[in-house]
Amino acid sequence: MAINRKYGAEQPYIKAGIFKIRLPFVHYKWSFPEMFQALIMCATCLGAIPVLTEVLGVSYDLALSMVIINGFFYCLHVLLGDPVVPGWITPAIPLVTAFLVNGYAIGPERTQALIALQILVGLLFLLFGITGFGSKVITLVPNSVKAGILLGGGISAVTGEMNAAGRFGKYPISITIGILIAFFCLFSPKFTELRQKNKFFNAIGKYGMLPAILIAVFVGPIAGELPWFTIELGSVIKIPEFGNLYRELSPFSIGFPGAATFIAAVPMAIVVYIIAFGDFVTSESLLRDADVARQDEKIEFNANRSNLISGIRNICMAMIAPYTQLCGPLWAAVTAALSKRYKEGPEAMNSVYDGFGTFRLSTFIAVALIPVSSLLAPVLPVALSMTLLVQGFICTGLAFTMCKNGTERGICGVMGAVLATRGAAWGLVVGLVLHFLLYYFGHEGGESFDEYAPVNLTKENAGDEIQITM
């Protein structure tokens, strides 16, 4: 039985410096809706396998071992007091892939380049966490620039799936049907009404994207876009191949990257961190809304702590199983969906840690279950695509609800488009230049622009713009 908290207080924890240790069943309860959802949503985690095999040249079994180890490190966030569902640094994946494929030969040379990049990214996270600048950045960055980062991430997620080289062209029917169902279940006010009136729809709504992915498992083969699934029952649990990981990927075996490799990776590491910064913005926004909605529990998000944990994950993965997706502080789609269910009240989710902790522990267990991974193997690319499209919807909606006036929306729109088309560094520069130009050398607060703005979204009237039924 988990320890009960006082009304309005934080969920109980063990103090450990900046960290707040929370153990399952001791400091938070097990949440079965999140467990069942995780059993299928782990398809997105397994979606790393085709990228790892193609870019690093590893076998399927070795890539699965890497996913399992990465799943273990996911659990560190809730364990150490970070109230999020962590994930990849997703928008950076195409950039990282191009950096590796275009610059290094497949084999030890390319793996060493990835090791250098992931170590540098980890060190940046640690630097911002240790110095305490991680939390300050959240407050120092202008509101319009925060929104522009979110918008750019949202645009990148959608265009990456819908362009000529994206997954939509390969699986149009599966993705279309799946994402329409996901959008309806997660964002439709009509579905919210159905949940309130009908127990069947309410039961479906508890599982977020799960119904959409399950339907895609059957739609894909019927449409001829995916093979029929098979369930392997000979074995139950996949034990990571630590010996092969050490021989093929560990810097202690293949050698550490040289100075030139580290230097070449510095610009990419900076760009990756700029992209990851958007996750801290998203986390702060989602958790602030959840904290306001629920007065019975105080939710504390500390960007410094989140930076530290993300840094630890990246450096550990670089030493054990360098990961092309890298280790980011947030899985936006799932964090948003679980936050929405949390906001329904204690009867839905007693503590935010119940849902987040259960979900990540369950995905770690699920990716190691051979029957589960074999069942979901055919639908992995479709599940990954649907997750990215949902993330695009969430980031775009949050970006515009953050903007308080027309000037901020204009800066957000231009910056987001530049970030999505020219990269994170360009987008950040454009956003900052526009902010200082318009706010310090133009009219106060952009009021003249607001005279022509038909809508003025504020925190008070924009809170319902995104409705995620969960």
Contact between residue 300 and residue 430 where contact means Cβ atoms under 8 Å apart: no
Q: Can you list the alpha helix ranges (DSSP code H) found in 89-132?
A: 93-103, 108-131
| Residues 6 or more apart whose Cβ sits within 8 Å of residue 349 | 31, 338, 341, 342, 355
| Per-residue pLDDT tens digits for 24-39 | 999 999 999 899 888 8
Burial class (CB in 10 A: 0-12, 13-18, 19+), 228: exposed
Asked whether the CA dihedral 418, 419, 420, 421 is positive or negative, the reply is: positive
Residue 359 lies in a domain: yes
Total structural domains in the chain? Answer: 1
Residue 87 lies in a domain: yes
Query: 237 phi and psi, to 5 degrees?
Result: -120, 135
User: Is pLDDT at 148 greater than 80 in this prediction?
Assistant: yes
Residue 118 lies in a domain: yes
User: Is pLDDT at 373 greater than 60 in this prediction?
Assistant: yes
Contact between residue 174 and residue 225 where contact means Cβ atoms under 8 Å apart: yes
Residue 453 lies in a domain: no
Q: Give the pLDDT score at 420.
A: 84
Q: Give the pLDDT score at 152.
A: 85
Q: Residues 221-248: what's their mean pLDDT?
A: 89
Residue 351: DSSP 8-state: S
Please give the residue that has the higher pLDDT: either 465 or 264.
264
| Per-residue pLDDT tens digits for 70-82 | 999 999 999 999 9
Query: 24 phi and psi, to 5 degrees?
Result: -65, 145
Q: Give the pLDDT score at 379.
A: 84
CA distance to 122, 300, 325, per residue, from 289 (Å)? 29, 12, 28
Residue 461 lies in a domain: no
Domain boundaries, position 293: 38-141+165-391
| Per-residue pLDDT tens digits for 305-329 | 999 999 999 999 999 999 999 999 9
Contact between residue 93 and residue 51 where contact means Cβ atoms under 8 Å apart: yes
| Per-residue pLDDT tens digits for 193-211 | 888 888 888 878 767 777 8
Closest Cα to residue 315, out of 302, 330, 326, 303?
326
What is the distance between the alpha carbons of residues 423 and 343, in angstroms, rounded to a whole number?
A: 35
What is the distance between the alpha carbons of residues 40 and 376, in angstroms, rounded to a whole number?
A: 8
Q: Give the pLDDT score at 434.
A: 94
| Per-residue pLDDT tens digits for 386-414 | 878 887 888 888 888 888 888 999 999 99
Least confident of 37-46, 63-72, 245-254, 440-449: 440-449
| Per-residue pLDDT tens digits for 106-132 | 999 999 999 999 999 999 999 999 998
Q: Residues 208-226: what's their mean pLDDT?
A: 86
Q: Give the pLDDT score at 1.
A: 60
CA distance to 161, 447, 448, 449, 450, per residue, from 453 (Å)? 32, 10, 9, 7, 5
Q: Give the pLDDT score at 159.
A: 87
CA distance to 174, 192, 352, per residue, from 344 (Å)? 31, 11, 11
Q: What value, to the nearest 5°, has the Cα angle with vertex 321 and ends 316 and 322? A: 85
Is-above-0.95 flag for pTM? no
Distance of CA 343 to the CA centre of its chain: 20
| Per-residue pLDDT tens digits for 283-303 | 888 888 888 989 999 999 898
Residue 266: DSSP 8-state: H
User: Is pLDDT at 91 greater than 90 in this prediction?
Assistant: no
Burial class (CB in 10 A: 0-12, 13-18, 19+), 410: middle
Is residue 14 within a helix (H) or strand (E), and if so which, with residue range?
Answer: strand 14-16
Residue 209: DSSP 8-state: T
What is the number of residues in the chain? Answer: 470
Q: Give the pLDDT score at 135.
A: 67
Q: Residues 91-113: what's their mean pLDDT?
A: 88
Q: What value, to the nearest 5°, has the Cα angle with vertex 162 and ends 374 and 430? A: 120
Q: Give the pLDDT score at 443.
A: 52
What is the distance between the alpha carbons of residues 81 and 237, in angstroms, rounded to a whole number?
A: 29
Rounded to the nearest 10 degrees, the angle between the axes of helix 210-222 and helix 32-46 is 40
**DSSP class per residue in 39-84:** HHHHHHHHTHHHHHHHHH---HHHHHHHHHHHHHHHTHHHHTT--S
| Per-residue pLDDT tens digits for 170-183 | 999 999 999 999 89
Q: Give the pLDDT score at 460.
A: 41
**DSSP class per residue in 302-347:** -HHHHHHHHHHHHHHHHHHS--TT--BS--HHHHHHHHHHHTT-TT
| Per-residue pLDDT tens digits for 421-454 | 887 778 888 999 999 999 877 554 444 444 434 4
Q: Give the pLDDT score at 428.
A: 82
Per DSSP, the three-state class of 369 is strand
Q: Give the pLDDT score at 385.
A: 85
Residue 58 lies in a domain: yes
Please give the residue that has the higher pLDDT: either 157 or 318.
318
Mean pLDDT (the chain, rounded): 86
Residue 259 lies in a domain: yes
Q: Give the pLDDT score at 186.
A: 83
* Residue whose pair of structure tokens reads 């009136």 in the numeric block: 197
Residue 406 lies in a domain: no
| Residues 6 or more apart whose Cβ sits within 8 Å of residue 179 | 212, 385, 386, 389, 390
* Residue whose pair of structure tokens reads 């902790």 in the numeric block: 357
